[in-house]
Amino acid sequence: MKTYMEFINSTRNLVVSARRIKTGKSAAFGGSKKLFDFDSLLAMGQKQKKRIAGELRKMNLLPRAVIFAPHPDDECMMSLPLRFMCECGFEIVDAAVTLGSNVERRVPRKLELRSACDFLGWKVSVLGFERITGNTRKSDKAYWNSCVRKVADLIASKRPAVIFAPHCRDWNKTHIGTSLLVKDALKCVKWNGIVIETELWQAMETPNLLSEVSPEVLAAMMGALSCHTKEVERNPYHLNLVSYMTDNVRRGAEIVGGQGGSAPDFQFGQIYRVLRNNGSGWKPAFKSKILPACASVSELLDIALWK
DSSP per-residue string spanning 102-145: -GGGHHHHHHHHHHHHHHHT-EEEE---S--SHHHHHH-HHHHH
Residue 42: predicted pLDDT: 52
What residues contact 9, with CB distance under 8 A and at least 6 apart? none
At residue 225, the pLDDT reads 96
Q: How many CA atoms lie within 13 A of 42 on its CB side?
A: 4
Closest CA to 225 of 212, 213, 239, 214: 239
147 contacts 182 by C-beta, under 8 angstroms? no
pLDDT tens for 246-293 read 999 999 999 999 998 888 999 999 999 999 998 778 999 999 999 999
Which amino acid is located at 13 in the chain? N
pLDDT of residue 261: 80
Q: pLDDT below 50 — which residues of the chain?
A: none
Question: How far apart (Å, rounded) are the C-alpha atoms in residues 69 and 67?
Answer: 6
**What pTM was estimated for this model as a whole?**
0.95
**What fold, for 34-204+272-287+294-304?**
Rossmann fold (3.40.50)
pLDDT of residue 121: 92
CA distance 267 to 256: 16
Cβ neighbours of residue 239 closer than 8 Å, sequence gap 6 or more: 15, 18, 19, 222
d(CA 124, CA 112): 12
**Among 285, 100, 80, 270, which Cα is nearest to 178's?**
100
- Rounded Cα distance between 136 and 240, Å, is 32
User: What per-residue confidence (pLDDT) applies to 47?
Assistant: 83
Closest listed residue to residue 84, CA positions, set 107, 105, 61: 61
Q: What is the spatial distance between Cα 193 and Cα 277, in angstroms, rounded to a whole number? A: 8
Give the Å distances, CA to CA, from 204 to 16, 199, 207, 210. 31, 6, 6, 12
Round the average pLDDT of the chain to a whole number and report it.
Answer: 93
